[in-house]
Amino acid sequence: MSENDLRTRALRYHAEPVPGKIAIEVTKPCETQDDLSLAYTPGVAAPVREIARDPLDAYRYTAKGNLVGVITDGTAVLGLGNVGALAGKPVMEGKGVLFKHFGKIDVFDIEVNAETVDEFVETVVRIADTFGGINLEDIAAPRCFEIERRLIERLDIPVFHDDQHGTAIIIAAGLLNALELQGKKLEEVRIVCVGAGAAGIASMQLLFALGAHPGNVLLVDSKGVITTRRQDLNEYKQAFAVDTDCETLAGALRDADVFIGVSGPDVLTPEMLATMAPRPVVFALSNPDPEIRPELALATRDDLIMATGRSDYPNQVNNVLGFPFIFRGALDVRARRINTEMHIAAVHALAELAREPVPLSVLEAYGLDALEFGPDYILPKPLDPRLIDVLPPAIARAAIETGVARAPWPYGEEKKLEAGS
């Protein structure tokens, strides 16, 4: 399909038969005068009084408990950069489609014109009562780190920046499985991450929480390895600065076990790949053009396991494996936040699901005859129907165990046992 054909089809898809991709539906009958008297005045006064008396009753009488705000400032929209808040709206609507389709969660997309972190944070804080959770989206680093931190501090509902933590969770799950297949341990491997923005920094933080050794990790940005000698680092990069003589990506990759790319196309050359340790793992996640093409990587090394961000290659690192189900579990127990323990629960649930026999429905959905845990299958497929049965209970259980849940286990005894509780 040519680029012009794709553009034409995409524009028609978004414009017809009605503009946009999401809408609001009415969930209660509105056929009679009595229905209307319950939906609005005078009947609506009853839940208003209950919520005024106890704000938690909003979860009982309104859509708050199944409603997520997908919020952006438009400063880092996909690979398009700072296109502005309004231009980011199609992406936010698309995120709403994924929340609804995969997690059965409703979404209001909110595009915020905010020049400063203060303006953005204040806007979100003032509208947060509407929602059961906040999904931050397409906000440029480093402001995204400060925005998320301040919103978590001020709000009592989950705040989750998917470009940070969603990406990190999927990377970590895939990496655990790839390392097992390669006969290596996370605690021992040398990792090089190219890209020191939201996804790169969050991914390394999560890998540390899972057991990776900070001394074995080199973070690389557009100016080279992040070392203690550099004077141009913001506070978030400084946390990853190491005392090393290595300054270039090429130097960093010599004898490295893992390459994680969240940067841009073609930064990993065959010559660099050839210098990596035996049985390397390469996650080239720049999309649509990865840091190295799989065809080129596999022609260079036949002992590697590779993942990309693309759906037309094996092992797609796709955030839809995470955020709809993470929020589903968090909302089901009315969690106050999504914490590191919940991230880790999602990582292990995803990794373990990929090791299970694949249902026939998944094979049919992807036109495959067979699929099993191995070098070309280290992560579940997005259309795997088991995701909603496995991830939300794992998230809910972690929320309950860490004391951030406000509602009891909602899944029934059978799923409680399946989750290991």
Sheet holding 305-308, edge to edge: 224-225, 217-221, 191-194, 258-261, 281-284, 305-308
Is 28 noted as a catalytic residue in this protein?
A: no
| In the block, residue with structure tokens 């209660």 | 28
CB neighbours (10 Å) of residue 35? Answer: 13
- The answer to whether the beta carbons of residues 176 and 210 sit under 8 Å apart is yes
CA atoms within 13 A on the CB side of 100: 17
Is 237 noted as a catalytic residue in this protein?
A: no
Residue 19 preceded by cis peptide, ω within 30: no
Locate the DSSP E strands across 146-216: 159-161, 191-194
Give the span between the Cα atoms of 301 and 75, in whole angstroms. 37
Identified catalytic residue from 13, 21, 28, 40? 40
Strands 159-161 and 191-194: unpaired
Identified catalytic residue from 64, 95, 184, 237? 95
Locate the DSSP E strands across 137-244: 159-161, 191-194, 217-221, 224-225
Active site residues: 40, 95
